[in-house]
Structure 1
């Protein structure tokens, strides 16, 4: 009997040691999914009222799903532990109430709540309300961004990066130039499709300063996964100063501009205040102030700019920009340095 007790104690201690090794891994598996609930790319870390409503709807729907799941599992356990067999009448009641009536009531309540919350998720801005108006056009595989004045006229154009003032609604007019894209900034609000031939409105408001990542949420071709953008929310005064600065053409390096124009880059790209007035590719005015390259695919360094100029199709398959790898290396480096410092 003593030997059995000792053996049991040793087995218990081995089990405890085994569990102590498993627990950290088990806890890590539980914690790992929670890491996606925060950050500038998370719909569950809202930085604006629209995104907060989306997150709230998610948690309410999650709670409803948990209630249905727990009820179903409880019914199954109860039925499995019953010693006697269920009559046909009692089994029918379980199926009716547990499988149809109660889930239907919960789902109808969740649907009603979602419909009630919908106006807050998609706020409507009257045409006569003074808001920041920005037109964004999705193209394969980048974003054309135009800032509009009160009359709806274009003040200036940029690409792949958007700036909005904190605490003020920004009204986006969303378009597509080629195929269906989808504009989504998870931390600021829900997604909105961009369909060729029509304009879809979307209003977003940022509650705090920061840089938030946006993506194309509709498969649009080979480099769909490489079609991202950033939204920078800054203080209203800083935003006003930036708008005023962008209306004034900056200075350019004469040698770099000459090589840029001589190699035909100005046929596709525009730089304000220069002969480059192309409309096929992204506007490169004030390119030097951007933080990423090629729709948030690369870092904004002279080396990465040179690499993209030389072989854009290698970095982003399906991109419409031709390769310039046949140019002299010094010319490519000069163009990259010119763009890097372009203000």
Structure 2
């Protein structure tokens, strides 16, 4: 089958560009949320206490070796290397034991304070979000506070800065793990069980989230973008996501709409405001506004969309997305339509 020229770059992407769409700095040591700050503080406390203890061990080891060498030099090898009656050794053991107890007490206190800080967010009024893990993508739903309904998107999580978002986690298939290192702790996503994690971002910007539990062949390609907006920007974004898909502006995108919303695509995907109401796959209503395709596997582009539609197994082997038997003209029209859904 002859492919559109726009498709070639998408299928020729080097491995170096994998997850390029999720290029935000991913580090728990660069916290951008209250929960991540508590965890980072605990980490540095553990590093300080354990590093100090490690240095003491090395110091005592060096002192013991030096003392043993001096004793052998002075008295020969007839006496035992350690004298049970040595009062200096007894004092050393007492001091060492006290330091160990003090270090453990400090770590326990730090862990308690970090846990309490993370749990405090549970008492706040929070934005409700549902995140469901699939092989290998993320379904994301926001509670519309005005109507009480749910607004669905996929693979891109938007959060308001300075406000707590309560994320209810569930899995549609196997065990996954939800992790945004810069913002909060890691939490497993287990079939048949709902876990809850609070996200309280303090800094705006783009960050990277990922599945942190091996969940199958494409586990490495199960990432998601996280955008922390100002409250006003978030409200505008959510209002835009609540609207139905825009009407095609020309004949080519209108043709693409017919292909996407009345053909095989509509069996798995929904486009609000059209006849496409499929549920197994991601909601495509505003797919053109997202930064990535296929859970961070490709950057968003018309060529990437066309490549994903026509040959998804070449982009993400093992994905549940089947190849669409479209002519080059139909594939181009479908990709133009999807790219216009902003």
TM over 0.5: yes
**Whose RCO is larger (CA < 8 A, sep 6+)?**
2
Are residues 104 and 250 of structure 1, via their aligned partners in 2, closer, same or farther at CA, if it must alter by over 3 Å?
same
Q: CA RMSD in A?
A: 2.2
Provide Cα deviations, 1:309-334, integer angstroms capped at 9, x if missing partner. 1222232232111122x421222222
Q: What is the CA–CA distance in structure 2 between the aligned matches of 1:207 and 1:56, rounded to whole Å?
A: 16
Could you say which residue in structure 1 is the equivalent of 2:111? 114
Q: What is the CA–CA distance in structure 2 between the aligned matches of 1:179 and 1:197, rounded to whole Å?
A: 10
> Partner of 1:130: helix, strand, or coil?
coil
The answer to whether the aligner puts 1:342 opposite 2:333 as a matched pair is no
Deviation, structure 1 residue 250 = 3.2
Provide Cα deviations, 1:157-206, integer angstroms capped at 9, x if missing partner. 00000111111111111111111111111111111111111111111111
Provide Cα deviations, 1:57-98, integer angstroms capped at 9, x if missing partner. 000000011011100110111112221153242597499558
Aligned residues: 302
TM-score (norm 2): 0.82
The answer to whether the aligner puts 1:215 opposite 2:210 as a matched pair is yes
Could you say which residue in structure 2 is the equivalent of 1:10? none
> Partner of 1:66: helix, strand, or coil?
helix
Alignment of 1:276-287 (within 5 A): 276-287=276-287
Deviation, structure 1 residue 252 = 3.4
Q: What is the CA–CA distance in structure 2 between the aligned matches of 1:151 and 1:241, rounded to whole Å?
A: 14
Native 8 Å contact 2:33 2:201 kept in 1: yes
Are residues 122 and 316 of structure 1, via their aligned partners in 2, closer, same or farther at CA, if it must alter by over 3 Å?
farther
Provide Cα deviations, 1:233-257, integer angstroms capped at 9, x if missing partner. 1111121122222222132332111
TM-score (norm 1): 0.82
1:249 to 244, 251, 255: 244
Q: What is the CA–CA distance in structure 2 between the aligned matches of 1:248 and 1:307, rounded to whole Å?
A: 27
Provide Cα deviations, 1:16-37, integer angstroms capped at 9, x if missing partner. xxxxxxxxxxxxxxxxxxxxxx
Deviation, structure 1 residue 207 = 1.1
Give the unaligned 5+ runs of structure 2: 1-23, 73-80, 249-253
